[in-house]
């Protein structure tokens, strides 16, 4: 257990001290929202959405980061206090350690202790579904009285980690069992995105949502490079599917709810993701850097994102988030090339209003 706990601490230390973000963008720089003369009052703009039956103030989730260690307890407490103040969902980091060491459970439970009303998302890796029984997974959910469960899928990280689980055989089959748990299931990457083929498999497994956690933000090839100092890892620094591309691929080929995360750093990107059809967005790394100090800085950062989202909504004549989903969107550059090669019709995104009078 000490190994697992230390590994998670090492990840945090590296993420705080080194630049672990991909050099290439998450693709949202290739997405342009068409500027309009608004016919709305800025003060009446409403960023709230329904998130699995709970009304939240903005489509922004605190993505899974940590748990398991005393240091994580402080981070999780600050993130939870921020989530409570902002009325947004919060996820915990992988709870695997909580099955091995009961002491570590405090660092996860702290989130629920902050508030009974928080929308909390539990977390376990897909590789662990082979190791643990459904009763044990249920224990993780009950531990924090979770409202949903993230199953993280992280093959790049596992294959580069010296202690990683490199046997993914039959992992996907395990999603059939997890489906039997009475809770929304969200399958999530950790920084390399999903393609449409895998999204379609998840849909067949009847999971509820996908969080693409695509390329363009925190990159675990970079994190593992700093842990192992292995030069051969460098060529994987830009491996994966950009967040904006992964979002569109998953939306085009499934009817699942799709969360856009991976390098989301401002409210303009949130507006773009929502305009493309995202269910919500998620942020991790910038919040970790703030939550080690206090919760107020996390609140300030996310409030800034919400203010930017509102401004982008004003400038696209969108009073509600649903209105954003009707805004005309231009897709250019690398993202356009990719989608065209994948036979995805991008014209419909830029001509939505043709079918409407406004
Ligand atoms: C220090 C750190 C630890 C993480 N641990 C987990 C984890 O335990 N489970 C998980 O699903 N994702 C984990 N992630 C991935 C994030 O949830 C997110 O998908 C990824 O960092 C991309 O988002 P970002 O660019 O906003 O950081 C972690 C990220 C960081 C920075």
Report CA(321)–ligand 1 centroid distance (Å): 26
pLDDT of 130 higher than 80: yes
Please state the atom number of ligand 1 nearest to the C-alpha of residue 264.
26
Residue nearest to atom 19 of ligand 1 (CA): 190
Mean pLDDT of 175-187: 94
Mean pLDDT of 32-45: 98
pLDDT tens-digit map of 293-339 = 999 999 999 999 999 999 999 999 999 999 999 999 999 999 999 99
Pocket test for ligand 1, best of 24, 67, 93 (most atoms within 8 A of CB): 93
| pLDDT value of residue 21 | 97
| pLDDT value of residue 2 | 56
pLDDT of 1 higher than 80: no
| pLDDT value of residue 355 | 59
Mean pLDDT of 87-93: 98
Please state the atom number of ligand 1 nearest to the C-alpha of residue 64.
17
Spell out the domains of the chain, with CATH numbers in brackets: 2-355 (3.20.20.70)
Mean pLDDT of 136-163: 97
What length is written for the chain? 358
| pLDDT value of residue 260 | 99
Please state the atom number of ligand 1 nearest to the C-alpha of residue 93.
8
Alpha-carbon distance 317 to 324, whole Å? 8
Pocket test for ligand 1, best of 218, 247, 287 (most atoms within 8 A of CB): 218
| pLDDT value of residue 4 | 80
The model's confidence at residue 7, banded by pLDDT at 50, 70 and 90, is: confident
* Torsion angle of the four alpha carbons 95, 101, 106, 112, in this order, in degrees rounded to the nearest 10: 30
| pLDDT value of residue 267 | 98
Q: Over the chain, what is the mean pLDDT?
A: 96
Ligand 1 shell residues, CB under 6 Å: 11-12, 15, 63-66, 93-94, 123, 150, 152, 188, 190-191, 213, 217-218, 261-264, 283-285, 288
Percent of the chain predicted with pLDDT > 90: 95
pLDDT of 357 higher than 80: no
pLDDT of 200 higher than 70: yes
| pLDDT value of residue 271 | 98
pLDDT of 353 higher than 90: no
Mean pLDDT of 173-184: 93
Report CA(183)–ligand 1 centroid distance (Å): 22
pLDDT of 210 higher than 90: yes
| pLDDT value of residue 128 | 94
Mean pLDDT of 94-106: 96
Residue nearest to atom 28 of ligand 1 (CA): 65
């Amino acid at each position: 257990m000490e190994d697992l706990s230390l590994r998670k601490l090492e990840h945090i230390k590296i993420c705080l001290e080194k630049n672990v973000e991909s050099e290439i963008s998450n693709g949202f720089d290739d997405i342009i929202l068409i500027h309009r003369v608004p016919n709305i009052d800025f003060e009446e703009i409403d960023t709230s959405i329904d998130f699995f039956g709970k009304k939240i103030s903005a489509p922004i989730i605190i993505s899974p980061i940590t748990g398991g260690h005393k240091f994580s307890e402080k981070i999780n407490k600050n993130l939870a206090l921020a989530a409570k103040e902002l009325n947004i969902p919060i996820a915990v980091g992988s709870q695997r350690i909580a099955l091995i060491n009961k002491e570590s459970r405090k660092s996860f439970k702290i989130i629920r202790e902050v508030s009974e009303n928080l929308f909390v998302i539990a977390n376990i890796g897909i590789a662990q579904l082979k190791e643990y029984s459904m009763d044990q997974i249920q224990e993780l959910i009950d531990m924090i009285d979770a409202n949903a469960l993230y199953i993280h899928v992280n093959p790049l990280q596992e294959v580069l980690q010296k202690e990683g689980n490199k046997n993914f055989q039959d992992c996907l089959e395990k999603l059939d069992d997890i489906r039997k748990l009475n809770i929304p299931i969200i399958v999530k990457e950790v920084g390399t995105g999903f393609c449409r083929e895998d999204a379609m498999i998840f849909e067949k497994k009847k999971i509820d949502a996908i969080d693409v956690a695509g390329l363009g933000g925190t990159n675990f090839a970079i994190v593992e490079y700093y842990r192992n100092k292995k030069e051969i890892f460098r060529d994987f620094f830009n491996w994966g599917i950009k967040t904006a591309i992964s979002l569109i691929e998953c939306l085009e080929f499934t009817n699942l709810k799709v969360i856009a995360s991976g390098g989301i750093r401002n409210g303009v990107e949130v507006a773009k993701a929502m305009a493309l059809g995202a269910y919500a967005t998620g942020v991790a790394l910038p919040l970790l850097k703030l939550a080690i100090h206090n919760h107020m800085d996390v609140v300030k950062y996310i409030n800034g994102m919400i203010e930017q989202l509102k401004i982008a909504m004003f400038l696209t004549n969108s009073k509600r988030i649903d209105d954003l989903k009707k805004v005309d969107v231009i897709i250019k550059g690398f993202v356009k090339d990719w989608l065209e090669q994948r036979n995805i019709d991008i014209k419909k995104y830029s001509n939505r209003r043709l079918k409407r009078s406004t």
